Amino acid sequence: MKKLRKRIGVLTGGGDCPGLNAVLRAIVKTAQNDFGVEVIGFKDGYEGLIENRFLEIDSRNVSGILARGGTILGTSNRADPFKYPVLQNDDYVYLDRSTQAVRNFESLGLDVLIAIGGDGTMAASAAMARKGLPIVGVPKTIDNDLVGTDVTFGFDSAVVTATEAIDKIHTTAQSHHRVMIVEVMGRYAGWLALYSGLAGGGDIILMPEFPYDIEGVCDAVRTRNAQGKTFSIVVVGEGAKPLGGEMVVARKVKTSPDAIRLGGVSHQVASQIEGLTNIECRVTILGHLLRGGSPTAFDRILATRFGVAAVHMADRGEYGRLVVLRHGQMDSAALDEVAGKLRLVTVDHEMIHTALSLGLCLGNPSDVPFADFYAEQEERQSS
């Protein structure tokens, strides 16, 4: 029995990334062509659902947006329906607005809500699903850290942008015989650093999952110099930290469900390398540049596949689930199994083995194999 009879609601939550508009386009076209139902888009993620701010989206709205970055609906990474920030007497209080969100959904006569977002959006969506809201999730993030899917859209586009930047950094590094540190986003996951570091020909890659030994990093730089390679490229994930140290927090946004904003570890790495090797370092922080621009062909296709699959899942009544890519095929995972979890780089991942086979330094001491070093660290932490 078909579940789609009236309208589909859709929102884009969390940080923006290339490919969001491609998903919206696919949802609208599939809803109209396959099922003849309308689509309502909520503005600025869950804020729009809570505050009842929306617009009708049809084929005219999505015409020409396939290649456009960002999202025509706007987004927010502060709109948790269960902990919604409201300004009162010059300070924020946090209110449970989930019931209001459900009422707004029902008043619009919607059959389902398709929520497009990362781990924060999926955690909120899982909680709303438990409250009875029929929800289908679509995974997006440049961090590629969502559990259950082989890849998220937005990741490939960010890797391409980072790789192009690293390519350009190479020429000035060679010209001036410097160590160039390129900092990329990724929060607590090192996928973006690992992939862009490999694609861009980085020599040292530092990831949040593996606290780095600065002496090992400096040994790698010295070894390259001794071999006549008078420059080095260090790619650093923003969540990387030294052994025994902490992540570098750029600022905190108290109204956000995840208040921590990382950034600046590259300056710390540069200072340490200069102090220990007496080789001049320069830092480039790519930051939000990685979120912008037109999606790659891969992300356009993946986002389109996700959008089509999400509408068909909704029609089958597969609520409380996230559409995912597994082994090249569309599949789904329960939101409750995804929410609150992160997909992180592991010691035994094939891309780690690839990097090590190329002779890259991943933050371990020069005289201790990578896997042995981090196995020892895990044992110390667990004891």
Active centre residues (catalytic) = 143
Give the whole-angstrom CA distance, residue 204 versus residue 358. 11
Q: Among candidates 162, 154, 185, which has minimal Cα distance to 75?
A: 154
Residue 229, SS3 per DSSP: coil
DSSP string, 102-140: HHHHHHTTEEEEEEEESHHHHHHHHHHHHTT--EEEEEB
Residue of 24, 9, 31 whose CA lies nearest to 315: 31
- Spatial separation of the C-alpha atoms in residues 131 and 3, rounded to whole Å: 19
Q: Are strands 110-117 and 91-95 parallel, antiparallel or unpaired?
A: unpaired
Q: Choose among 359, 30, 380: nearest CA to 219.
A: 359
- Does residue 80 contact residue 47 with C-beta atoms inside 8 Å? no
Instruction: List residues bridging with 49 in a β-sheet.
Output: none
Q: Which ranges in 242-369 belong to alpha helices (H)?
A: 265-277, 297-315, 335-338, 350-357
- Largest Cα–Cα distance in the chain? 71
